[in-house]
Amino acid sequence: MAKGRVLSGMRPTGRLHLGNLEGALRNWVNLQSEYECFFVSVNWHALTTGYEDTRELRALVRDNVMDWLSVGIDPQKSVVFVQSEVKQHAELYLLLGMLSGIGWLERCTTYKDWLDNGYEPNYGLLGYPVLMTADIVLYKADTVPVGRDQLQHLEMARELVRRFNRLYGEVLVEPQAKLTEFPHVPGIDGRKMSKSYRNEILIAEKPEVIQQKVRRFFTDPQKLRRGDPGRPEVCPVFALHNIYTRSETEEIAADCRSGALGCVECKDKLSQSLIEALAPARARRAQLERNPQEIEDILTDGNRRAREVAEQTMQEVREAMKL
């Protein structure tokens, strides 16, 4: 039986951290054995909120791709490419835009959130769901891994595909959501790990920096010193132990509750777990940094493979629309 096809991507807006690793990349790596995968660095999407300063954009694309490869994305199994290197994305974005009503786009909750957060309304923000739809349907991806907070985006893509197919015939594939429950990854301050909060631990973080950052982690505010009973269920450090020290979590929780385990010792234990867990990715990334041509070769091949599939779809779209 033929494999299904997955499309997923990331905006290159900064170095990737543990939230990105546990929230998406672990899933991507696993999907490679089940699906034909297309993974794209969506650098045009990055312009929606970062168009004023693009000096680091190319470097961020390569940084992100190095992180992908370092944790197990395999360019022999998956197509790894850059959005702007496949111009068919822009062509289909334009054509799908003709079918997209302004009121319909304004109902997007992400658009409303951007405006609430102080971003000036612009065409790129408003048209974000249309470009995302083009990204997916160019490759006739039937499966898109998403969290529940992204379901509206995918439903908008499905609506737009149905509208196109109703007008021009069954050309585009309606993508289905593959819901993924991601573990909560807290940052240093206890909030969700995010580069915008500056509370992240990078995938490629050096061991000594991991130790420094973990020492700064918030803990249970009621546990002030060793001997005080703690509440692991409210502690960000314990939340990370649940991901990276799973074999010891019951013991850690019991010792925390009894007061036998102090926060300093608990943090040191987490530092060691993180350093060990990230060691293979650090080593692979260091290898890639020493050989930048390997990244260029991977992206050149991935861009070519993506263009071939995208152009086949566009030939069908142009024919259906009588262009």
Note whether 309 and 167 are same-domain residues.
yes
Pair (178, 304) in one structural domain:
yes
119: three-class secondary structure by DSSP: coil
Per-residue model confidence as pLDDT tens digits over 41-75: 999 999 998 999 999 999 999 999 999 999 999 99
The confidence score (pLDDT) of residue 2 equals 73
| 226 secondary structure, DSSP code | T
Looking at the structure, do residues 215 and 71 belong to the same domain, yes or no? no
280 and 302 share one domain: no
Examine residue 177 and state whether it is found in any structural domain, yes or no.
yes
CATH of the domain at 263: 1.10.240.10
pLDDT for 149 = 81
244/313 same-domain check: no
Number of domains in the chain: 2
Secondary structure (DSSP) of 145-198: EE-GGGHHHHHHHHHHHHHHHHHH-S-S---EEEE--PPP-B-TTSSBP-GGGT
Does 95 share its domain with 166? yes
Q: In what order do the strands lie in the sheet with 4-10?
A: 78-82, 35-41, 4-10, 143-146, 176-179
User: Does residue 227 sit in the same domain as residue 180?
Assistant: no
Q: Among 56, 51, 61, 181, which Cα is nearest to 122's?
A: 51
Would you say residue 197 lies in a domain?
no
Domain contains 12? yes
- The CATH number of whichever domain residue 134 belongs to comes to 3.40.50.620
Which pTM does this prediction carry? 0.95
Q: 168: which 2 tokens?
A: 């021009």
Do 212 and 303 sit in the same domain of this protein?
no
Q: Do residues 63 and 49 touch, judged by C-beta distance below 8 A?
A: no
Please tell me the distance from the alpha carbon of residue 154 to that of residue 137, in angstroms, as a whole number.
11
Residue 192 neighbours by CB under 8 Å, 6+ apart: 19, 184, 185, 186
Burial of 279 (0-12, 13-18, 19+ CB in 10 A): exposed
The pLDDT assigned to 1 comes to 59
Residues 180 and 235 in one domain: no
Question: Does 195 reside within a domain?
Answer: no
Same-domain pairing of 168 and 75: yes
Domain assignment of residue 35, given as a range? 4-185+292-320
Tell me: do 279 and 296 sit in the same domain: no
Q: What is the mean pLDDT of each run of 10 residues along the chain (323 residues)?
A: 90 95 95 97 95 96 98 98 98 98 94 91 95 98 90 94 98 93 90 94 97 97 91 96 96 96 96 98 97 97 98 98 98
Residue 249 shares a structural domain with residue 104? no
